[in-house]
Amino acid sequence: MPTCRRKRVVLTEPSEALLQAVRTDPHRPVFYLRQTGEVFETYEYVHPLLQSLSSSIRCFSHSRRAYAARMSFYHMKQFQCEVTGKSGLDYFQAVESERQEARTLHARFSEPLKPAVLKAVQWRKSPPCFFKNKLLIASFTAFLQKLWGV
């Protein structure tokens, strides 16, 4: 999952009111962001402070940001690939970088090591730097045991 300022990006969930409105009126126009699967009620974001200027302007909560504002956020060059550490990417570049690295790692990883490493990683509670050394030693030992039948 790409990070932004060292925090994971949380995808917005559609509000319960929007889901209910779409259930009652299936032809209601919504804005769908295909790359993330997010659904938005409006295209442009109206700041809550503007509500006091006119009673006709609706106030949108933080979780219902408009499509354009979210796309603008995703296109900012402030994201980082969590796998490689590359920074200065937009959200979609960071996602693609992570997918590419996952494919590369999967292709390069030795088949005999996969079960041992996956078993060790599944329930880990240690910090990554502490775990990395133990994992390398354990996986190498398991590899040698399988290789030489020890």
Our count of domains for the chain comes to: 2
Which stretch of 30-34, 54-58, 110-114 has the lowest confidence by average pLDDT? Answer: 54-58
Q: Which residue has the tokens 């209601």?
A: 28
Q: Which DSSP letter does residue 43 get?
A: S
Pairwise CA distance, residues 141 & 119, whole Å: 14
Q: Of 1-5, 49-53, 59-63, 116-120, which has the strongest mean pLDDT?
A: 1-5
Across the chain, what does the average pLDDT equal? 76
Residues 124, 54: one domain? no
Last residue of a domain, one of 87, 103, 119: 103
44, 58 Cβ separation under 8 angstroms: no
**How many Å is the maximal CA-CA distance in the chain?**
78
The first and second tokens of residue 114, run together, are: 């996969």
Given this model, what pLDDT does residue 64 score?
47
Question: What is the domain range of residue 99?
Answer: 3-103
Within 8 A by CB and 6+ apart from 50, the residues are: 57
- In this structure, how many other beta carbons lie within 10 angstroms of the beta carbon of residue 14? 16
Residues 76, 13: one domain? yes
Residues 31, 59: one domain? yes
Which stretch of 46-50, 68-72, 99-103, 139-143 has the lowest confidence by average pLDDT? Answer: 46-50
Residues 71, 140: one domain? no
Given this model, what pLDDT does residue 76 score?
93
pTM, entire model: 0.62
Residues 71, 88: one domain? yes
Residues 121, 135: one domain? yes
Residues 92, 139: one domain? no
22, 40 Cβ separation under 8 angstroms: no
Residues 33, 72: one domain? yes
Report the candidate in 92, 38, 91 with the shortest Cα–Cα distance to residue 63.
Answer: 38
pLDDT in tens, 48-94: 555 444 434 343 334 446 898 899 999 999 999 988 889 999 999 99
